[in-house]
Amino acid sequence: MQLGAFSISLNVKNIHASKAFYENLGFSVFGGSLEHNYLIMKNGNALIGLFQGMFPNNILTFNPGWDENAKPLENFDDVRKIQQHLKNNNIAIINETDENASGPGSFVVIDPDGNSILFDQHL
């Protein structure tokens, strides 16, 4: 299964302090908005999302259809195909995407340790 670009979305207490910290690690702002309390930061093909006050925990994120530069992939597994595969393997889906739709969609699963994994397709 092709899951697309991988990133971790961090729930941060102070987005300005987190931005400075990750810049010191060699990350630079790739997207987002300080005014809206979120930034996407990049170092090579590593992506980290910094989110202040948007969700309670850190989230692992996969973006089907995108590479690590947010560029569309020619071939990828649609988020609905991934969702159906996980359902067929008895993995509970939270906030299912409409399996009869096409284009953008998202859903969440929780791993055995309570970590949220977001599958978020933008195409």
Taking a C-beta distance cutoff of 8 angstroms, is the pair 87, 81 a contact? no
* C-alpha–C-alpha distance, residues 123 and 45, integer Å: 20
**90-102 as b/e: b if 16+ CB within 10 A:** eeeeeeebeeeee
| pLDDT at residue 93 tops 90 | yes
CATH code of residue 101: 3.10.180.10
pLDDT attached to residue 46: 94
pLDDT attached to residue 9: 95
Number of compact structural domains in the chain: 1
Which residues constitute the domain of residue 72?
5-121
| pLDDT at residue 42 tops 90 | yes
Q: Which helix (H) or strand (E) holds 3?
A: none
* C-alpha–C-alpha distance, residues 7 and 60, integer Å: 6
| Residues linked to residue 109 through DSSP beta bridges, in sequence order | 117
